[in-house]
Structure 1
Amino acid sequence: MYQARFRVDNEVAVVTGGGRGIGLACAEALGESGARVVIIEPDEQIGSAGRDALTAKGYAAELMLGDVTSSAQMTEIADTLAARGMPASILVNNAGVGSSGISSEDVDDELWLWMMNVNVNGVFWCSRAFGRHMIAARRGSIVNLGSMSGTICNRPQPQTPYNVSKAAVHHMTRSIAAEWAPHGVRVNAVAPTYIETPMVLAIPENGPRIEAWLRDTPMGRMGQAHEVASAVLFLASDAASLMTGAVVPVDGGFTCW
């Protein structure tokens, strides 16, 4: 009984930014658990590489090109899938951008608007587009990628725009969850710590920062993409059937202190 509740067999799972990193790990977790995965990426090369990695492992996966900052594109993709008889029943709002190291007084309009457009608007456009079909079907699960930065202020690097964008994702999660629960649609979020990816490790400024991050983490290490994906799979599945509006920390204890 219990193992079966973690399965998502024959569900259509859309993962934004699913071509690499945490998004690809989420797509793999869902595919391994039986879902038919649809990756949304604006970059065909990245998206194709992710799709091919999934299909090489025997998972049902396809790529649809689109930019989450375009509400029209997200609506078109959601409607196209529904017209094909495969409306999404799982949505992972993973696509996001990050930037740090700039003090608030030096943040320009372009950086602020870019961060909000991708991290906040993008999550809402996708939730609205795919959520309409979930409401019509009276079933569905949305999992948003928040961050522990939506709860705490990171140190030693300043990053107000990112922190604010993720705090917005957390409250958007709770707000939509409360609205859509009567329609059978659950909305939750995960709030990861620093995740050890090639991109993070390649940034020279992160060398001394990582030492500080680990001192602030009770578990004393960074996270791995698969650890975030495992939490996403749980929230997407019927194993979390009584959970909505939750923001689940996946942070090695960082927010305990």
Structure 2
Amino acid sequence: MADTQGSEAMPYLSTEPSPNASWAVNLSHKVIAITGANRGIGLGLAEVCLANDAAVVYSLDLSEPDEDFQALAKKNPNRFKYLHMDVTDEASIKQTVDAIVAAEGAIHGMIANAGMTKHQPALEFSREQVEQLFKLNVFGAFSCAQAAAKKFIELGIKGSIVFTASMTSYRPNRAGPSAPYGGTKAAVRNMTHTLAMEWAQYGIRVNSVSPGFVRTQMTAKIEAAPDFDTKMKYYGGMPRLALPQELGGAYVYLMSDTATYTTGIDIPVAGIVGAW
């Protein structure tokens, strides 16, 4: 395994494309892992990755697959798989990444997507609730990125890591305020820049995507609120929630070999929400 401690002495592993590089934006031959892909945004991202020729997509999730997962797996025989993993447990993450490599011979991309939110006034949050959000959204995301990076280095793979951040890392969410959640996503977005800087020498790219309002089970209450239409009107832009699949293009680009010179950035996919 490569020595990651003596990084100062290592030459940079350039991500410059090869002379015969293909400029098609796709994930052909790539093994992609997505945390929290049994439902919601993660499942939508898996569908778009599969539609863009990913060889295999793994959902790494604590929950068991439901009907939506099974339906997508049926449409993509032997290309959409599930492994039980706890993103808050470093041993679980390492074991799962090792299992993917044992089964597929490689791993090329990690989408650190698993997360949770809780919308309520800041004065009502307990310390325990805040710590729970940070443990999953920040510590879990970092551990997944770290495990993937170590495996990329070990295998000599120019891998890609993409975090799911949020437009709440830029601006408050007036439709569903959550100061601790916004704090976790700001941490993730900021962490992206430093990891991109540190791991560039290994040929590893690190980026993030900041979704706006997305229709999932976690946002159902926001959309069901009686004043939702009014709130959307004053946000400006597109007065609706996105489908999870509408985020997928940004992730596919960042995972693809077309993005070999793209690292350390955040791509907002938010229908202009948060742009002011």
| TM, length-normalised to structure 2 | 0.85
What amino acid maps onto 2:34 in structure 1?
A: V
**CA 1:217–1:232 in 2, change beyond 3 Å: closer, same or farther?**
farther
Distance, in Å, in 2 between the alignment partners of 1:153 and 1:197 is 19
> Equivalent residue for 1:44?
64
Counterparts of 2:59 and 2:126, CA distance in 1: 32
The alpha-carbon deviation at position 28 of structure 1 amounts to: 1.2
The partner residue of 2:252 within 226, 233, 256 is 233
| Residue identity opposite 1:68 in structure 2 | V
Aligned partner of 2:169 among 131, 139, 150? 150
SS at match of 1:44: coil
Which of 191, 213, 216 does residue 172 from structure 1 map onto? 191
Letter in 1 for 2:53: G
Supply the AA of the counterpart residue of 1:38.
Answer: Y
TM-score, normalised by the number of residues in structure 1: 0.91
Match of 1:248 in 2: 267
SS at match of 1:190: strand
How many residue pairs match? The answer is 254
Do residues 53 (structure 1) and 71 (structure 2) align?
Answer: yes
Tell me the equivalent position of 1:115. Answer: 133
Question: Does the 8 A contact of 1:78 with 1:87 survive in 2?
Answer: no
Structure with the larger helix share:
1
Unmatched 5+ stretches in structure 2: 1-19
Asked whether 1:130 is paired with 2:148, we answer yes
Deviation at 1:54, TM superposition (A): 2.6
Deviation at 1:135, TM superposition (A): 2.2
User: Which residues of structure 1 form unaligned runs of 5+?
Assistant: none
Between 213-222 and 203-212, report the one with greater CA deviation. Answer: 203-212
Report the Cα distance in structure 2 between the residues aligned to 1:164 and 1:243, rounded to whole angstroms.
25
CA-CA distance at 1:156 after TM superposition: 4.8
* 1-structure distance, mates of 2:115, 2:232: 21
Is the CA contact (8 Å cut-off) linking 1:12 and 1:86 kept in structure 2? no
Give the superposed CA RMSD.
Answer: 2.1
What does residue 111 of structure 2 align with? 92
- Between structure 1 and structure 2, the one with the greater Rg is 2
* 1:38-84 CA distance string (max 9 Å, x none): 111111244xx454223321251211001111111001111222234
Match for 2:74: what amino acid?
A
- Going from structure 1 to structure 2, the CA distance change for 1:220 and 1:146 (only over 3 Å counts) comes to same
Q: Alignment partner of 1:96: what SS?
A: coil
